[in-house]
Amino acid sequence: MDRIHIRGGIPLRGEIEISGAKNAALPLMAAALLSEEPLILENLPRLADIASMADLLEGLGVEIKLNGTTGTTGGRTAELSAKDITETTAPYDVVRKMRASVLVLGPLLARYGKARVSLPGGCAIGTRPVDLHLQAFEQLGAEIELAEGYIEARAPGGLVGAHVIFPMVTVGGTENLLMAAALAKGETVIGNAAREPEVADLARCLIAMGAEIEGVGTDTLRVQGRDALHGALHEVLPDRIETGSYAVAAAITGGDIHLRNARLDLLEAATEALVRAGVSIEETPNGIRVASANGQLKGVDLMTEPFPGFPTDMQAQFMALLAVADGASMITETIFENRFMHVPELCRMGADINVHGSSAIVRGVKQLSGAQVMATDLRASISLILAGLAAEGETIVNRVYHLDRGYERVEEKLAACGADIFRQAE
């Protein structure tokens, strides 16, 4: 397994290009199943999760042509054609690796009237059930059975629109239902819908494919089902979590980085927290500039919430930042029940953090020190890289495959801004 070595203490300066958003790209790729005409996606990031989704779709019979880099950004373009679907089962081996595989359920059920998807198990950050996805499909008339570790869904006469109110905000549930509703008979109203920008990006792509959706970006989505959707071309929006992670890299090293292609409007809660911590952020004609000129950081309190609140996917990175800020900070995690796995690792680097239930008290220390660390999820792993950039001495981050699921060429992007970082392949 690869490792990343970092020698910390260098203020990062330069430019980083932000890639297309992983969490937008995954549902967008699944949306290709809704039409027999090709869906062309631009600005796809080069990530392990994107390759896993491509494998899953190819297993179902989707033809995928990778056309290198076209469009206005550096991402890849893929043409996905779901003309001849030969299989409606998403097997355990793929779903086990990537929970977002469950996003093929809605499109398959809506277009073919049946789907069989391995039930995702729990994962490092929590139990993460998919009960709300399944209840929503049942409201649209699907019959759902759980057998031998698989979700077996059937709607022989097609799905019928309904009024679905999610009892809690679910990003994947909203996306799955939105895709299914696009081909259901009549109107579907989705109440308490997730407002994450990735959901809005999917809605915009579905509209380009001929879907009729009102309320994009709000918590009520109104969908008039269509008999069929057509092909379209869609550019994946920039990754707000990658943006936030590199903003923290600038802040934690007392550096100054321009984040090309980044969009401030996708990251207001995290931006506001950075500003409160003493970081300066300015919008530029083609991105965002983040600087922490005097390197003085102040503690801030944070609570993760659905969008537009502070994102759970930025919690670990802020924990690393606040570990070296002046004073105490309280971080409360409300989305996942077990998303503090980075805490013991940060403490091994000298951080002073105490967890009480869903909250962590972070008392800032003057200096972190390098150590061998490892993490069991994606955002925990990047938080250790960020801590390593600020720490004295060498940090070695093990289990880098977690990072490769969601950060494109992380060591190259950081090295281009002066970081002393390299990957040791094994």
Q: Which residues bind ligand EPZ (CB under 6 A)?
A: 23, 26, 100, 126, 128-133, 168, 170-173, 198, 312-313, 335-336, 378-379, 406
Give the Cα separation of 231 and 37 in Å (integer). 5
Name the residue nearer to ligand EPZ (CB basis): 101 or 292. 101
Two structure tokens written together for 99: 């929970």
Nearer to ligand EPZ, 52 or 292 (CB): 52
> In this structure, what token pair is assigned to residue 23?
């969490």
* Residue whose entry in the numeric block shows the structure tokens 């690796």: 97
Nearest residue to the partner ligand EPZ, using Cβ: 172
CB of 201 to ligand EPZ, least distance (A): 11
By C-beta, is 155 or 407 nearer to ligand EPZ?
407
Question: Which pair of structure tokens corresponds to residue 132?
Answer: 């709300």
CB crowding 323-335: b at 16 or more within 10 Å, else e: bbbeeebebbbbb
Nearer to ligand EPZ, 224 or 358 (CB): 358
Amino acid at the residue 132:
L
**Which one is catalytic: 123, 205, 347, 417?**
123
Nearer to ligand EPZ, 78 or 136 (CB): 136
The residue among 24 and 288 lying less far from ligand EPZ, judged by its C-beta, is 24
Give which of 301, 357, 305 is closest to 330, Cα–Cα: 301
In the complex, least distance from residue 104 CB atom to ligand EPZ, rounded to whole angstroms:
13
Q: How far is the CB of 337 from ligand EPZ (least distance, A)?
A: 7
In the complex, minimum distance from the CB of residue 403 to ligand EPZ, in angstroms, rounded to a whole number: 11
123 is catalytic: yes
Least distance from ligand EPZ to the Cβ atom of residue 333, Å:
10
| Residue 33 vs 391, nearer CB to ligand EPZ | 33
Which residue, 378, 373, 372, 374, is CA-closest to 404?
Answer: 378
| Minimum CB–partner distance for residue 309 and ligand EPZ (Å) | 10
Output the CA torsion sign for 379, 384, 390, 394: negative
Which residue lies nearer to ligand EPZ by CB, 379 or 423? 379
Catalytic annotation, residues: 123
